[in-house]
């Protein structure tokens, strides 16, 4: 009978799954007690990670961390919203040590809720560029993603989509599709613009782009690429990895879509392309703080960054580490450089602007 039950008090919602990285299994609620007991691992030799990432590459990271440190990663996956709600509900009793999510907007919400603790170490400071982490050390990026413009190759010349501003010009009247403004990526993109150029400029841009819509906002980033390929519009924006995932897809239909679509890193002659992160931080009530810090440091170490790069469709956080070959082939690009917490600070204002201009 097992008496090591760090997660015994957890009620696992049906929508969440408990992944036990060592065995490569994703276990449901009934497996809680099993997951809490790790034969041979030692009852204290683990760190609990709440993660909104669901990538196979992350399992390799967990295994790498365990190999390097002997510490097992116990990952609980769910959406960023679900995991934040859970963390909030658990309060001081939470067994989560690390919270990982994509998009600084999501991470900022955890910080705002007081559920991160600031951590600053030499290894983190050395390995994570200043604009890809929280200024106070609440969260640290370990991969980055770019917000790119996708366009139909037979209708648009690359120089016509060199800037985000271009999407709001008469050239693209009725030729733009976008996903909903409630999406974090959209909120972060506009929040970054508010930070750089002010709310008035951001509103003018959002209104101009909204005026060019070919249809009401709908679907995912991938759906925007498909709509452009299908001729519903000439251009859209998406996170770069959706484009690369379809390019790498085993499904011929996906590759056919990519055959019709080009992409551009916008604003290369100006402020640079908007970038965001996947990142993590140590939770406010971490029971295994030292191991949590160790895990964050591992994520940005030589070993982890080198291992992750070829498995991933995101860019390594460290400029010295080469990304996957197809990403490298896209060439180096200039990144927007703003403090990442701005994406959170301006999120509410971004939402208000979207609503005011009718970008649903
Ligand atoms: Fe995504």
Averaged pLDDT for residues 98-109: 96
Assign 44 a pLDDT band (cuts: 50, 70, 90).
Answer: confident
Tell me the per-residue pLDDT of 54-95, one tens digit each, with 9 for 90 and over: 888 999 999 999 999 999 999 999 999 999 999 999 999 999
Say how many Å lie between the CA of residue 89 and the centre of ligand 1. Answer: 26
Contact 123, 297 (CB under 8 A): yes
Q: What is the mean pLDDT of the chain?
A: 89
State pTM to two decimals: 0.86
* Backbone torsion region of residue 70, taken as left when φ is above 0, otherwise alpha when ψ lies between -120 and 50, otherwise beta: left
Residue position matching structure tokens 């994509």: 102
Say how many Å lie between the CA of residue 140 and the centre of ligand 1. Answer: 18
Say how many Å lie between the CA of residue 158 and the centre of ligand 1. Answer: 24
Contact 300, 318 (CB under 8 A): yes
Say how many Å lie between the CA of residue 106 and the centre of ligand 1. Answer: 12
Say how many Å lie between the CA of residue 118 and the centre of ligand 1. Answer: 26
Distance between CA atoms of residues 252 and 255, nearest Å: 5
Distance between CA atoms of residues 66 and 24, nearest Å: 13
Assign 22 a pLDDT band (cuts: 50, 70, 90).
Answer: very low
Candidate from 107-121, 200-214, 287-301, 304-318 with smallest mean pLDDT: 304-318
Tell me the per-residue pLDDT of 278-333, one tens digit each, with 9 for 90 and over: 999 999 999 999 999 999 999 999 999 999 998 889 999 999 999 999 999 999 99
Averaged pLDDT for residues 352-358: 98
Assign 353 a pLDDT band (cuts: 50, 70, 90).
Answer: very high
pLDDT of residue 19 exceeding 50, the answer is: no
Say how many Å lie between the CA of residue 243 and the centre of ligand 1. Answer: 11
Say how many Å lie between the CA of residue 105 and the centre of ligand 1. Answer: 13
pLDDT at 56: 85
Say how many Å lie between the CA of residue 239 and the centre of ligand 1. Answer: 7
């Amino acid at each position: 009978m097992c008496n090591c039950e760090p997660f015994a008090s957890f009620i696992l919602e049906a929508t969440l799954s408990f992944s036990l990285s060592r065995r490569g299994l994703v276990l449901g609620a009934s497996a809680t007690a099993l997951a809490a007991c790790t034969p041979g691992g030692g009852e204290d030799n683990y760190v609990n990670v709440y993660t909104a990432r669901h990538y196979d590459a992350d399992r390799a990271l967990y295994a790498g961390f365990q190999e390097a440190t002997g510490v097992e990663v116990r990952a609980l996956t769910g959406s960023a919203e679900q995991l934040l709600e859970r963390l909030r509900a658990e309060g001081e009793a939470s067994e989560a040590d690390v919270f990982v999510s994509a998009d600084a907007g999501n991470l900022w919400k955890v910080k705002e809720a007081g559920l991160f603790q600031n951590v600053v170490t030499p290894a983190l400071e050395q390995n994570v560029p200043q604009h890809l982490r929280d200024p106070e050390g609440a969260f640290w990026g370990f991969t980055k993603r770019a917000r790119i413009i996708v366009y139909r190759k037979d209708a648009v010349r690359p120089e016509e989509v060199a800037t985000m501003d271009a999407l709001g010009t008469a050239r693209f009247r009725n030729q733009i599709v976008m996903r909903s403004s409630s999406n974090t990526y959209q909120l972060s993109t506009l929040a970054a613009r508010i930070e750089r150029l002010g709310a008035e400029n951001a509103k003018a841009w959002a209104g101009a782009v909204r005026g060019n819509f070919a249809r009401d906002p709908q679907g995912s980033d991938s759906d925007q690429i498909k709509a452009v390929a299908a001729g519903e519009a000439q251009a859209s924006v998406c996170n770069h990895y959706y484009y690369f995932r379809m390019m790498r897809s085993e499904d011929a239909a996906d590759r056919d879509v990519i055959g019709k679509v080009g992409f551009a890193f916008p604003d290369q002659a100006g402020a640079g392309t908007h970038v965001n992160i996947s990142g993590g931080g140590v939770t406010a009530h971490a029971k295994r703080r030292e191991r949590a810090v160790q895990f964050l440091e591992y994520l940005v170490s030589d070993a982890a960054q080198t291992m992750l790069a070829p498995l991933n469709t995101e860019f390594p956080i460290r400029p010295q580490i080469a990304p996957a070959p197809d990403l490298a082939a896209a060439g180096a690009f200039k990144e927007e450089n703003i403090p990442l917490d701005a994406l959170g600070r301006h999120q509410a204002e971004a939402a208000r602007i979207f609503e005011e201009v009718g970008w649903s």
